[in-house]
Amino acid sequence: MQNNGNTASQLARHHVEAMYAQDACAQNMGMHIEHIDVGFARLSMEIMPHMLNGHKRCHGGILFSLADTAFAYACNSEGLAAVASRGNIDFIRPVWMGDQLTATASVRHQGKNTGLYDVEITNQNGKAVAFFRGYAHRLSPSISDNAVKKNQPNRQGEQS
What b/e sequence results for 114-137 when a residue is b if at least 16 CB atoms lie within 10 Å of its CB, and e otherwise?
ebebbbbbbbeeeeebbebbbbbe
**Per-position DSSP letters for 84-153, written without gaps between them:** EEEEEEEE-S---TT-EEEEEEEEEEE-SSEEEEEEEEE-TTS-EEEEEEEEEEEEEEEHHHHHHHTTSB
Contact 94, 125 (CB under 8 A): no
Among 130, 135, 53, which Cα is nearest to 90's? 130
CA distance 136 to 141: 15
> Could you state, in order of their start, the residue ranges of all structural domains in the chain?
4-138
pTM of the full structure: 0.86
CA distance 49 to 77: 32
Q: What is the CATH number of domain 4-138?
A: 3.10.129.10
CA distance 62 to 98: 14
Q: What angle do CA 4, 37, 18 make, to 5 degrees?
A: 105
Per-residue pLDDT of the chain (160 residues; tens, 9 = 90+): 345 557 999 999 999 999 999 999 999 999 999 999 999 999 999 999 999 999 999 999 999 999 999 999 999 999 999 999 999 999 999 999 999 999 999 999 999 999 999 999 999 999 999 999 999 999 977 776 555 445 444 445 444 3
